[in-house]
Amino acid sequence: MRSKQIPAPVFILSLMAAILIALFVLGKMAPESAADTQDRQIRSSLSQIEVPPIEGEAADGSTFRLSDHKGKVVLLNFWATWCGPCILEIPDLIALQNQYGPQGFVVVGLAAEQDPDPKSALETIRTFAAQKKLNYPVLVLPEGVRGPFGGVAALPTSFLINREGKVVYAAEGVDPAKSPRDVWAPEIEKAL
Three-class HEC string of 49-98? CCCCCCEEEECCCCEEEHHHHCCCEEEEEEECCCCHHHHHHHHHHHHHHH
Q: Which residues pair with 77 in a beta bridge?
A: 109, 158
Mean pLDDT of 11-24: 58
More confident residue, 26 or 5: 5
What is the topology classification, in CATH, of domain 51-191? Glutaredoxin (3.40.30)
User: According to the model, what pLDDT value does residue 123 have?
Assistant: 94
Once rounded to an integer, what is the mean pLDDT over residues 81-106?
96
For 95-150, write each residue's pLDDT tens digit: 999 999 999 999 999 999 988 888 899 999 999 999 999 999 999 998 889 888 88
**In contact, 176 and 85? CB cutoff 8 Å:** no
pLDDT in tens, 156-186: 999 999 999 999 999 998 888 888 899 999 9
